[in-house]
Amino acid sequence: MTKARIRALWILYRLTEAAYNAILQFQGGVCAGCGEPPRGRSLAVDHDHKTGLIRGLLCWHCNRAIGIARDRADALTRLGAYLLAPAATAALGKETYGLIGQAKASKKVKVYGPPVAVSVGRKRKT
């Protein structure tokens, strides 16, 4: 860990390098959110922005996800349930796949154009 990182840990969170390493060891050396090891950068110190309570160490993606959810555990719980049981599948009664992302590359899907709209307008003068 660089001297600048050690100093930032102390200034921002009042954490020593030893305390950071103790949390990291307690978490098994991985992100407390996704369980992945750090890749290329150290794990972020996750903290409650209202109280300052240090919660643990997260990768950039997990830390950002909590920030986007505004630290609302209820919203994240609902999102988890949503991922496990998508509303569209329940509404349509079947799994429906689009052509965005990996679905397009991994499935042999015939691509048809959008439904043709019939124009009902004025006829052009010739």
Phi, psi torsion values for 57, nearest 5 degrees? -120, 130
Residue 5 has a pLDDT of 96
Strands (E) in the chain, as ranges, are 44-47, 54-58
Residue range 16-69, pLDDT digits in tens: 999 999 999 999 999 999 999 999 999 999 999 999 999 999 999 999 999 999
Q: Which tokens go with 86? A: 């998508």
Q: Is 58 helix (H, G, I), strand (E, B) or coil?
A: strand
- For residues 68 and 13, give the distance between their C-alpha atoms in angstroms, rounded to a whole number: 21
Q: Is 70 helix (H, G, I), strand (E, B) or coil?
A: coil
Domain layout of the chain by residue ranges: 1-126
Q: What is residue 32's DSSP assignment?
A: T
Residue range 65-117, pLDDT digits in tens: 999 999 999 999 999 999 999 999 999 999 888 877 665 555 555 556 666 66
